[in-house]
């Protein structure tokens, strides 16, 4: 099992609610997704924005859909 994901460096600029949502997203990632997140974060550096990433946006949309 892969270790925990490193938090985005720009976490402090988000509201407490958004930070909680980001943490929930990171905790639900499987090992392959964690690896992809880590690679993207390392390769893109400060230009990487988790909140704008396709995976996060899609996950958030699915969460917000009424069941």
- The runs of H, that is alpha helices, within the chain are 16-28, 31-44, 54-64
Domain limits for position 47: 14-64
- 6 located within any domain: no
Q: Is residue 46 part of a domain?
A: yes
Domain total of the chain = 1
Determine the Cα–Cα distance for residues 42 and 65; give it in Å rounded to an integer: 32
pLDDT at 1 over 60: no
In this predicted structure, what is the pLDDT of residue 12? Answer: 87
* 25 domain residue, yes or no: yes
pLDDT at 38: 93
Look at residue 2 and tell me if it is in a domain.
no
Q: What is the pLDDT of residues 9-63, one digit of tens each?
A: 788 899 999 999 999 999 999 999 999 999 999 999 889 999 999 999 999 999 9
Side-chain-side CA neighbours of 10 within 13 Å: the count stands at 11
Please tell me the predicted confidence (pLDDT) of residue 34: 95
Domain assignment of residue 1, yes or no: no
8 assigned to some structural domain: no
pTM of the predicted model as reported, rounded to 2 decimal places: 0.83
* Of the candidates 27, 32, 22, 30, the residue with the CA atom closest to the CA atom of residue 56: 22
């Amino acid at each position: 099992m892969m270790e925990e994901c490193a938090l985005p460096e720009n976490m402090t600029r988000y509201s407490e609610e958004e930070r909680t949502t980001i943490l929930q997203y990171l905790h639900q990632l499987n090992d392959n997704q964690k690896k992809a997140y880590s690679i993207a974060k390392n390769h893109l550096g400060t230009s990487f924005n988790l909140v704008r990433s396709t995976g996060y946006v899609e996950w958030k949309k699915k969460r917000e859909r009424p069941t």
